[in-house]
Amino acid sequence: MYNELKRFEQILFDICAVGLLLFYSYAAVLSPAATQYHRGIYVIVTYVLVFLLYKSKSTIGRIIDYILIIASIVTIGYWMYNFEAINYRTGAETPLDIGIAMVGVLLGIELARRVVGTIFVVIGVVMLAYGVYGDYMPDLVSHAGDTFPYLCTSIFYKSDGIFGIMANVLATYILLFVLFGAFLKKCGAQKFFIDFPLAAVGHKIGGPGKVAVIASGLFGSISGSAIANTVSTGAFTIPMMKKAGFKPHIAGAIEPAASIGGMFMPPIMGAGGFIMAELTGLPYSQIMLVALFPSIMYFFSVFVMVHYEAKKNNIVGEKSEQNAWDIFKSEWYYTIPLVVITILMLRGYSPGYSAILGLVSCIVLSWFRKETRIGPKEFLEASRDGAVSSLQIGATVGVIGIIIGVLTFSGLVLTFADIVIELADGSLVLTILLIALASLVLGMGVPVTAAYLITAVVAVPALTHLGVNVLAAHMIVYWLSQDSNITPPVCIAAFAGATIAKANMWKTAFSAFKFAKFLYLGPFLFGFVPGFSLTGTSMDIIKAFILIIFGTWLYSYLLSGIWIQTIFGKKQAA
């Protein structure tokens, strides 16, 4: 009986995974805008997959799991079916409307608890308590408050709640790009992304470390997660760096420091770029163009610091048996999916449509070699892997909806901006530092994409008030939202690198913090150098680029500390 149930659950999981791919492929081609059906089906399937994958171990727990699955289908299905009627009777909801809303909100918290952890339960409960008891709060953050049932009704049915921005972007763009990443790995591209830089720079000073930087840039832009990037490419590059002579904590630090750069690198930029397009109303192609140079400068800074770290310790990699040019000539076609996506989006096609054609190109490319061919079995595996990866983000939909819904309901969005402006006293530098602190604290408990969305809602108005253009303000927040991956005390990507390197976690974390210092310089460049975000005349932009390239090298050189060794080494020799 148990084996039959397990098999049934696996079949149901696979049906959901393939169904997600086929439905949203069809939707991306015929209907780029996410209707209530797109969002509702995505949320239903996500809830079902989470309760199947993160299931209880006891018999009673399994029964509860299926009750929760049924409750998910009923509550979200009710919202989809009665979408127009509920909007029509806003403010005069029926008792059934209110009951469904309360169950839906509580389901969202339980979903996040299973995937992300207890911290989300705490955040969700605190925000709900703040929404209900707002009139008891200090004057600075107080509001009228409301009853729990009516607060849940607002969060569940209004457009800035559970089915708001996060659900819209997930259903329209992010899911398809996560699936695209799974198919790109399945077609064999990941091997090329490692083999090519290994042959190109693996034998240079600090070669294995430089391989980690380049491979993370190539693979990171499509992985959608700094942690996933650290674990996947790090499994190969970290042992290679240790073998070459890098200290374990340095090897474990270089990989996560490089991996977070993938979140800034077009054409995919993790998931945040799509949310940015939704929030700003700008075409994603414009966001890609603005993000390109800063992301290159980020990788350049890490690359330079790796070079000087290796030079300081006289670390040289081994020459690869393969020639870089030969690898590129024989496997260059693995870059085609990324090129296809980039060209299509620059020509004005929707990101979802571009992702589908990129995914199709992965399947076509897989047939170039017998060992990488994607047949029915491999298609199912890639769909399954993509669906599982999407759950890390999708499971946050409910609590993100609670947070943004309560922030909007209470008026704290505007209050927070006023608080930051008042504390900073008109100083853009202090404003950026306060936002960095806020995103670091927030990022300790939520995924970085969620941290960006929440922080952007409250912090962008403070930046634009000080004269920063909207896109640059979002870039500042987006860059800073990544800091919790490599900044102590909670730096999951750095800890993942330390685990692979078998190094001290805190030494690894602080080393990753050092290698990723451009993460903190970039936001100030967005704020103070208009050319960094392609604002101004062509000459202004060119001058800014030249100065920033030189400044990035100097900044990385000074942070590496090799100049100290050079000065004192010469004195000792004399």
pLDDT-based confidence at residue 128 (cuts at 50, 70, 90): very high
Using the predicted structure, report yes or no on whether residue 229 has a pLDDT greater than 70: yes
Average model confidence (pLDDT) for the chain? 83
**Higher local confidence (pLDDT), 286 or 28:** 286
Residue from 312, 262, 384 nearest 18 by CA: 384
pLDDT-based confidence at residue 574 (cuts at 50, 70, 90): very low
Question: What pLDDT does 567 receive?
Answer: 64
Q: pLDDT for 489-529, tens place per residue?
A: 667 788 778 888 888 888 888 899 889 889 989 999 999 99
CA distance 404 to 413: 9
The answer to whether residues 567 and 557 touch, using CB atoms and an 8 Å cutoff, is no
> What is the residue whose two structure tokens read 């927070």?
416
Residue type, 359: L
Cα radius of gyration (the chain): 24
Alpha-carbon torsion angle 18, 20, 23, 26, nearest 10: -90
CB atoms within 10 A of CB 9: 17
Using the predicted structure, report yes or no on whether residue 473 has a pLDDT greater than 90: yes
Angle 201-203-205 (CA atoms, 0-180°, nearest 5)? Answer: 85
pLDDT-based confidence at residue 573 (cuts at 50, 70, 90): very low
Q: pLDDT for 161-198, tens place per residue?
A: 888 777 877 777 778 877 888 888 888 887 787 788 87
* Averaged pLDDT, 288-317: 88
Using the predicted structure, report yes or no on whether residue 409 has a pLDDT greater than 80: yes
Angle 240-196-347 (CA atoms, 0-180°, nearest 5)? Answer: 130
CA distance 332 to 195: 12
- Read off the pTM: 0.75
Q: Reduced to 3 states, what is the DSSP secondary structure of residue 462?
A: helix
Using the predicted structure, report yes or no on whether residue 328 has a pLDDT greater than 50: yes
Q: pLDDT over 70 for what percent of the chain?
A: 92
Residues 6+ apart with CB under 8 A from 285: 345, 346, 348
**Higher local confidence (pLDDT), 448 or 292:** 292
Using the predicted structure, report yes or no on whether residue 288 has a pLDDT greater than 70: yes
Question: What pLDDT does 1 receive?
Answer: 56
Using the predicted structure, report yes or no on whether residue 55 has a pLDDT greater than 80: yes
* Averaged pLDDT, 307-316: 85
